[in-house]
Chain A
């Protein structure tokens, strides 16, 4: 992947990646043991309620947290390259609100279909997420203007539309499902079993592969449209296919975990600072940091006010936003 790099700086960089990697690995090992019921490492191998809690609830939850966080962070990174803007996230295309609208429909109309072991709510929110990006692309095509500006405007409009739709359905129908809906909208990664982790894990691998296969293209797009075009890249086409791919991958995460804010925005930002503008290093950082951050946030969600299980989406935004501000302010101070 890399050219022979210039001596010292490269090993130093590797060290940083390794230390983050080791930290995240240890985090993943420790977190499942912690909870309202403390679990001893000796009990997890036997047949007892504790080992069930460990293997069927906590381990899947931890794995899902890492995988979902990694995907969201990488999606943010890719999105920022495609939009040539380091504040861009997949939400700009209406993916989250589309997914939420789908979930509302599934809940309110009791659409309990299962497909590949995924429930109705997951399925319909996935369709909702895909519908957003498809609509954005369709409208842009109709007005024969496939520019970033059109995408952005359509995305903003769809975000408002879907948000209104969600409130409308909630207001119109009975309140029986309102709590579970509200809970879903706050984001969470509590699951039973491994269906979701495997589903998203496979997607993460595919996503990583695509990110490295299309390295040249992503770099070109981030350098500007004219630049990329003059190097022979069909920028408009590449962007459209990338957005479709993003919808498939991010839609899957949102449909399983609900909308989890801030990771897609903040993690690539930090990774760029640490990754020294190197594509490969930034990607690896984003993956480790995104995954680690969501696992840590979920740990906090469980540890903060036991026995309450705070929705993890609240934690990521609650801690992410101030951290992001501090980061931006310190960066601005540096450039002053």
Chain B
């Protein structure tokens, strides 16, 4: 699905990412973690084509990401930024429908099929009460749900998320995790940046650790107190609750 070879990036003169190599298979759930400023968000932007790499290449389905047109890429990848920028009033309906934008042509309105997918998704994620509301009036958790649903409407195999649980209360946290789990079980490939490992560790099947722009670990998800200590300088423990592996901070 995704292959990164010798990916480098810098902001001005400051190197942000240094020679990353890894590949993500279909239906992987990759948890990307690392301390603040490790380059996680930059990596996600490179993989989604928002930023162009300063060195190395990102391949999506075997094709160089730079050779995709913007619209073509948007039929492969949905990217959810950490912060949304809704400065102006916008109906939730329009936000959701924008997920169908890459499938439309220049002059065409959204088709019957677009509206059908829209209606199905609204029902599936129980968003009926929000559809006619201004997105600015929604709470952080409601917004995140709407944005996730719009990624679902975009109907792409790859979903990249940057800190999807920021500022969410426990109920919204669970709802967002459930939505993600559902998308993953439908065959989507998920790459997710988050510090909240206690939430996403059990969901992921792979993990990618970054520190100072360097790849510290990439591979199958497994608990390693040593790795977590190297990355975050904290000690982490794990327990099994039924078949769920739960990790927590050990003081």
Contacts and interface: CB of A to CB of B under 8 A. Distances in A.
Interface stretch (A24-32, A129-137, A216-224, A245-253): A216-224
B134 A230 contact: no
A6 interface: yes
Given A213-B107, A220-B101, A222-B90, A234 B70 contact: yes
Contacts of A219: 90, 94, 98
Given A6-B132, A84-B88, A224-B86, A231 B101 contact: yes
Interface in B123-176: 131-136, 154
Given A230-B50, A232-B73, A277 B101 contact: no
B115 to A, nearest CB: 7
Nearest to B107: A213
Contacts of A232: 69-75, 101-102
A1 B102 CA distance: 19
Given A86-B87, A220-B98, A226 B50 contact: yes
Interface string B203-219: 00000000000000000
B182 to A, nearest CB: 21
Contacts of B95: 223
Interface stretch (B9-17, B20-28, B77-85): B77-85
A227 interface: yes
A227 B85 contact: yes
Contacts of A224: 81, 84-87
Interface in A75-99: 80-81, 84-86
Contacts of B89: 272, 277
Contacts of A6: 131-132
Contacts of A229: 49-50, 70
A259 B205 CA distance: 62
A86 B91 CA distance: 16
Interface string A240-279: 0000000000000000000000000000000010001111
Contacts of B133: 277
B55 interface: no
B104 interface: yes
B102 A231 contact: yes
Interface size class of B (residues with CB under 8 A): 35 or more
Contacts of B90: 219, 222-223, 277
A5 B101 contact: no
A186 interface: no
A3 interface: yes
Nearest to A86: B88
A208 interface: no
Given A9-B132, A85-B87, A225-B85, A230 B48 contact: yes
Contacts of A223: 84-86, 88, 90, 95, 98
B39 interface: no
Contacts of A44: none
A297 B13 CA distance: 55
Nearest to A232: B74
Nearest to A6: B132
A233 interface: yes
Contacts of B50: 226, 229-230
Interface in B177-198: none
Contacts of A3: 93, 115
Nearest to B94: A219
A222 B110 CA distance: 19
Contact of B88 (A1, A222, A234, A276): A222
A86 B90 CA distance: 13
Q: Which of A5, A80, A226 has the most CB of B within 10 A?
A: A226
A9 B93 CA distance: 15
A50 to B, nearest CB: 48
Contacts of B132: 5-6, 9
Q: Which of B50, B77, B85 has the most CB of A within 10 A?
A: B85
26 contacts: A5-B132, A84-B85, A84-B87, A84-B88, A85-B87, A213-B107, A219-B98, A220-B101, A222-B90, A223-B90, A223-B95, A224-B84, A226-B45, A226-B85, A229-B49, A229-B50, A230-B74, A231-B74, A232-B69, A232-B71, A232-B102, A276-B134, A277-B134, A277-B135, A277-B136, A279-B91
